[in-house]
Copies of this chain bind each other. A is one copy, B any other.
């Protein structure tokens, strides 16, 4: 295993130390492994809490800041945060207007966030609403999931819903919006290589030199099928077609088109994929209203990419364009 780490057991703690040092505008609770906005909690603002296993950076800690998340819980690599972490995050962002939990649909995450929501409600009466993201069209039910997995739509949702919370919208409205974004987003990914979890010390799965996995999960969960390596234009088709078959993206203002790198795939290649995705959408009559290309939801050192399409109306686009100031996404301020 070739990694720039110290002891594999310390990787999350060490990375959080680095994050705190590199981003003094954030506040890191090292004991609970929660990344907070430095200027929180904001009185009267709905608090947005997300989190999940580490190894997907910048998601989620890199999306904490003005116009996005108020806190993110960092679990061990590819492991749900425990309820105590989520409790600390929820209490730490509580500004009296309630808290929204944004949870990717993996069994452990859903269970631990739910337990934390109950604990917080019982202890302090804070109102917590949970929205589960389940946008991966590749498979229903997966290695760690009942129902669809939560992937790329999570990034777009955290941005859009973060802007709405920043505007001071009430909890019920923010939660409705989050559900609306989840309903409007679909994703599908491919892996060219496995990733290696530090504590495991070896690749999560084997993928022969001449094959790729279509429909991969962001923890290396099996996808739909293995196919021989193919040119980017065919790969793009294998990712876009199932998305377009699952939901209609025509009409309205078009889509936010997100081509995400899984870690080891260079930006050069992501732009090649983006060009092919854009050509396919053009042929299908789907207009691209906004785009995002880069490694925003990674899977450690996995080579591969995911495509997310989010059907957008004017309200969503306005919230997408609103200022955001986080380590991972930043514009307008």
Contact = CB atoms under 8 A, between A and B. Distances in A.
A21 B263 contact: no
Q: Which of A288, A301, A305, A333 has the most CB of B within 10 A?
A: A301
A229 B2 contact: yes
A85 interface: no
A200 interface: no
A268 B330 CA distance: 19
Contacts of A18: 270-276, 278, 293
Contacts of A12: 268
Interface in A284-321: 288, 291, 293, 295, 298, 300-301, 303-305
A225 interface: no
Interface stretch (A55-63, A88-96, A177-185, A216-224): A55-63
Interface string A196-227: 00000000000001001000000000000000
Q: Which of A7, A12, A293 has the most CB of B within 10 A?
A: A293
Contacts of A209: 2
Contacts of A212: 2
A167 interface: no
Interface residues of A, number: 61
Contacts of A15: 268-269, 271-272, 275
A202 to B, nearest CB: 11
A122 to B, nearest CB: 34
Contacts of A55: 266, 268
Interface of A: 2-7, 11-12, 14-19, 21-22, 54-55, 57-58, 62, 77, 192-193, 209, 212, 229, 231-233, 235, 263-276, 278, 288, 291, 293, 295, 298, 300-301, 303-305, 325, 330-333
Give the 9 A-B residue pairs with the shortest CB-CB distance, closest first: A18-B271, A18-B275, A264-B264, A57-B267, A18-B274, A15-B271, A2-B192, A17-B275, A4-B269
Given A2-B193, A14-B272, A21-B291, 6 more contacts: A4-B269, A4-B305, A6-B233, A15-B272, A18-B293, A22-B293
19 contacts: A2-B193, A3-B269, A4-B232, A4-B235, A4-B269, A5-B269, A5-B272, A6-B231, A12-B268, A15-B268, A17-B271, A18-B272, A18-B276, A21-B288, A22-B293, A55-B266, A57-B271, A264-B264, A264-B303
